[in-house]
Amino acid sequence: MDDACYEVLGRSRRGEPLRHVGTLRAPSDALARAYARWLYDEERWLDLAVVRRVHLLGVDGAGEA
């Protein structure tokens, strides 16, 4: 079973930033969404999203060396 790594982002309340809340592995976007809902149910999220880790592009030299 080929799984991809997904980052999970959530916003608890209006006015708060969208923050990183965890990661998970899933074989599809559909299962990633399903898993995020139940893995991270410690809060009632205003927004919860998943994105494949490969789509996060680091920016070199942006900050601390």
Partner 1 sequence: MSALADVLGGLAAAKHGLGYRLAFAGLSAPAIEAAVATVALAQEELGHARLLYASELRLRGGGGEDEGAVGAAIQTAPPVPELVPAPDDWAQVLATLATLDTALSLWLETLAESAEAWLRSRAQRMLDEETFHRDYLRGWLDVAAAEPRLREGVTAGMSVALARYRPWMDALARRAEAAGIAAPPSGARLESTVSALVAGTLERREGNDDAETVS
Partner 2 sequence: MTSPLAERIQAGFMVESLADTDDAYRRALRETLIVSGDTEFVSAAVLWTALDRAPSLNSQMSLLAVIQDELGHAHIAYRLLADLGEDVEALVYGRAARQFKNPYAFDFALRSWSELAAVNGLFDRAGYTLLGDIHRHTSFGPWKRALAKVAKEENFHIRHGETWIARLAADPATRPEMQATVDWMFPAALEFFGLPDSLKHRQLQLEYRIKGHGNDALRQQWLATAVPFLTSCGLRVPAHHDAARGEWVLDFPFPCAFDADVRRYDFTRPVEWTAVLERWKARGPDCGWFVDVLTRGRGLFGVARG
Phi, psi angle pair for 33, to nearest 5°: -60, -45
Residue 24, helix vs strand vs coil: strand
Query: Measured from the CB atom, is 5 or 16 closer to partner 1?
Result: 5
Query: Measured from the CB atom, is 18 or 28 closer to partner 1?
Result: 28
Query: Which tokens is 10 given?
Result: 């959530």
Binding site for partner 1 (CB under 8 A): 1-4, 24-31, 33-35, 37-39, 41, 52
State the amino acid at position 42 in one-letter form.
E
Query: Measured from the CB atom, is 27 or 43 closer to partner 1?
Result: 27
Query: Cβ distance 25 to 3 under 8 Å?
Result: yes
Binding site for partner 2 (CB under 8 A): 1, 5, 20-25, 38-40, 42
